[in-house]
Each structure stands twice: as C-alpha cells, then as structure tokens.
Structure 1
Amino acid sequence: MRVKATGLAALVTIPALLLATACSSDSSGSGDKKKDQGQESADEAAKPAAATGTTLTKAQLDKAVLAKGDLAGFAVAASPSKTDENPKVDSPQCQPIIDVMAEKASPKVKDAVNRGLSSKATPGIGYADVLRSYTAEDAQQTVADLKNALVGCASGFGAVSQGQKVKYSDVKQIQLAKAGDESVGFQLTGEGGGQKIPLNYVVVREGATLAMFIGMDLGAKKPVKVPQELVNKQVEKIAAVSG
C-alpha cells in the first residue's frame, strides 16, 4: 500500500498512529442532516450531570491507555507525541472540532498519550486511540462545545494543519452505543495535500478524561466503524485508574 504521509498528516493530524499500524500489513453512512440536528437537540435537552473526576497525570494516562494484551486480535503500537501541533480553523465556531481531532490543540488539555491499533484479522485497517486529561469541568465543556460545533459547521470548514491548507466537508454526527459518562461520534471528509479522505471519530468522556478514536481503511481510503470492544475496554481502564 502506498500512502502520501505528508498529506495524510495534515488531514488526520495524528497520522503516525494509523501509519504505524495499518501500513504494517499490505492491503490493496450517510444520514439525513435534519435527523442529525434533531438528535443534537435531544442531546442538549438531556445534558449530563455536573462533571466530576480526577485529572489524570501523564503516568496515569500511560497506565490507562490500551496496551498489548488488552484485547485479543489487536496489535498495539506506541507513537511519539507531537503535542505542539495547534491547527487553526477559518471559522472560530469550528475550532472545537479541530481541538478534539488534534492531539493537544486545546490549552485545556493537561496531558495526552496515544496508541495505534490494528486488527490482525483485517490487514490495512487502522485505529488511533488518544487519551487526554482535563479538569472535570473542562472535559465536560469540551464535549458540549464539540456537539455545538458539529451542528454549526455541518457545511464544512477550512484549517491550516502542519503548514498545509485543509478543507473539511460532509461534517455530521453519527449514532453511537452508550459509553462512559457521555460520548459523541462524527464523520467528515478531509481534502488537502492531493488527498481526499473520509474519517470517523469517536469521543468518549469518562470523568475528567477524554478518549478519542479514529478508524480508517488506509488502502481504500474509507472510514471504518470503531469496534465497540475497543471503546468499552478503554473506558474500563480509565475508570480503573481514576478510582
């Protein structure tokens, strides 16, 4: 498989995770917008209770993040963090989306760790798992801001990432199974650096920690659903470390 790493880096913002896992093996849902906005209204009407939770340290995040042996059938790879990346968007209301896509774009993030995973049964499929610690209030507000931005930025937005101009389109929220204290899923298509790649994101808040997952088939350049077993196991580990 051949992937232009530079272009992918700008589109995904933390591509090393996906490249290190999916590319280690060779490999050759749309919904109605009004329905999505209706779901957003329902979500707003059922806001979670006041946030509580411990702000995890870097060492605690390293302990909580998915690791080798946690899930049968998945390989796990660590990737060096580059937390100085701070993509900016052309519309301020859309910044919350980039803030969760990039590893540590928001100054509210206290610490962050990441891992890349691949399914041994499906070569070429890659997943990123990024954990970020916040204060409990900031973690809850980050999810609320993301949900609002997904509605306000449904028509798309532009950004500058790693020195490249990137355009994101087809932004929409997707349905998720319940996980953690609250969760939100979204899909968008990134275009830049000569590439056009659709991506799926899942963001789960457990206390004062956010777990963000990306799923993608790098060979076919199409999004894939993040397995629920990855999400559930990650939430379980965060809860165990948080006490």
Structure 2
Amino acid sequence: MRGVRARRAAALGASAVSGLALALLATGCGTARPGMVVEIVPAELPADAADRASKGKGQEPPARLIVAQGDLVDHRVSPDGADSPLVSVDRPECRELAFAAAGFLPTGRTGWAKASVVAVPVPLPQDATERQKRAAAQDAASSTVTVVTLGSYAGDTAGRHFAEVRAAGQACTDGYSATANGETVKVTRVVPHAVHGGDEAVGYTVEAEQDGEHHATELVVVRKGGTLANFVAGRTSGAAELAAPVVEAQLLKLG
C-alpha cells in the first residue's frame, strides 16, 4: 500500500454528539457536502495474491493485523475486545449500513479484531494564555475517536457483505431510524464519499438527529480479499473527521 491522501471537501457544522450517538457511531449533521474525501492507493500484489485472499486462505488473523500502538505517529491506539451493539432499523434495506455505522461487522466471521484510535493533542507552549488552555481542554475532552474493526470471512462472504453495505448506502440516502440498547437516533441523510482502496471501498457521511440536535460522523468500509475493514469516526462535540493516517496505517498492515 503506497498510502492515503485526504483533503477536506467542505466544513462540517459543529454540534454535540450524545452518548448514544457515540455508542452507535451512527450520527450526522445537516451539511450539504461530505466532510472528507479519502483516496487510498492500492499497491501491486503478486499475481495469485488476490485469488488466494478472495478464497479466505493464507491470511493473517485480524488480531495480528489490527492497527496497534507504534503503527501511527502522534496517536494513541487502544485494543477493544467488546463487540459493537446490534442495531435494529425501521427499514430492513438499511440494516447493513446501520451495522457498519455502528462499527459492527456481519456475523459469519472466521475472526475479528477492534481498536480505538485518538490523536495525541499537540502540547501547548509554556506561555499559553488561559483562553488557549481552556480551548485545548475542550478539544481534548471531545477528541475524535476513530474505531477500526477488522473481520475475516471464508470464501466470497466478505464480497457479499460488502455488496450489501453498498446496496444499503444506495437505498437509504434519505435516512432511517436506528435503535440500540433502547436508544434511537433518526438518520436524516446518507451522503456518499469518493473513496478508493483495497479491492473495493465505500464511504459515507451519516447525518442524524437526536433530541433536537444534529450530528455528523464519517464511515468507510474497505474489502481486501476475504477481510473487511470498517472505519467509523465520532466525537462528543464538533465535527467528526475520519483520520486519514489511521486508514493508511491499517491498510498498510493489510498489505
């Protein structure tokens, strides 16, 4: 993998993200354009590598491939052994998208792993003002968390699951309601990103409302052979921006 190039396509509106929204990682805001465009350039593979990977053979288990501390500069990586909550939706055709937005990979996995990544704040200068200190404290308290989930699948199962996410994204641009742990958010719109990487990739900005507040999160799903990589960005306030270095580091490890 040669890398990831990211640029801001448009600024997202800032608003607080509720505890449920972070749990679901399925939040959005009323922006007219997606907030992040991520271009992931795949490396050339040996002639038989794609065929072997597509059959789910010869792959490292996700626990060895998940991004870890040391793979990223100026980021804190925390392994996460807890699976994401199951999400129910009012529109069955939106289920796989809701799962992905919650960081949940479909069942049938032969293995899976998960990690949370947060950028380390830049230290303040010694002569920082009180205003700068307060702003830094607020930023630290609402840092964007990028949750990475890997799942490996046998045969062509990963390809089928990826196709279901893509179909859900196309069918559910006008939104859906998602419920987990007794809490519900209303997704008002799903906006596609321009994303390229792995064998195939899709990306979305998921826009939602809860308790009268508007929220935004970024979602990218990449298939690399028989492995699905799910990236979701969320934060407790402000705009959630998918961390391009996290995507790059993870896809580098996938090969």
- TM-score, length-normalised on structure 1? 0.71
Q: Any residues of structure 2 matched to 1:61-100 within 5 Å, and which?
A: 61-82=62-83, 85-100=85-100
Q: Is the 8 A contact 2:146 2:242 kept in 1?
A: no
User: Displacement, 1:217?
Assistant: 4.1
Partner of 1:12: 25
Larger % of helix: which?
A: 1
Partner of 2:222: 204
Partner of 2:204: 186
Counterpart code for 1:218: T
**Alpha-carbon spacing, 1:180–1:197, altered in 2? closer, same or farther (3 Å):** same
Partner of 2:242: 225
User: Displacement, 1:172?
Assistant: 1.5
Partner of 2:251: 235
What is the number of equivalent residue pairs in this alignment? 201
User: Displacement, 1:98?
Assistant: 1.7
Contiguous gaps of at least 5 residues in structure 1: 14-28, 33-48
Higher RCO (C-alpha 8 Å, min separation 6): 2
Partner of 2:117: 117
Question: Looking at CA atoms only, which structure, 1 or 2, has the larger radius of gyration?
Answer: 2
User: Displacement, 1:9?
Assistant: 4.4
Secondary structure of the 2:63 match is helix
Partner of 1:215: 233
Partners of 2:18 and 2:101 lie apart in 1 by: 19
Contiguous gaps of at least 5 residues in structure 2: 1-15, 35-49, 123-139
Do residues 159 (structure 1) and 178 (structure 2) align?
Answer: yes
Q: Is the 8 A contact 1:78 1:116 kept in 2?
A: yes
**Alpha-carbon spacing, 1:131–1:56, altered in 2? closer, same or farther (3 Å):** farther
Q: Is the 8 A contact 2:87 2:178 kept in 1?
A: yes
Partners of 2:242 and 2:103 lie apart in 1 by: 20
Partner of 2:194: 175
User: Displacement, 1:184?
Assistant: 0.7
Q: Is the 8 A contact 2:103 2:230 kept in 1?
A: no
% identical aligned pairs: 23
- TM-score, length-normalised on structure 2? 0.68
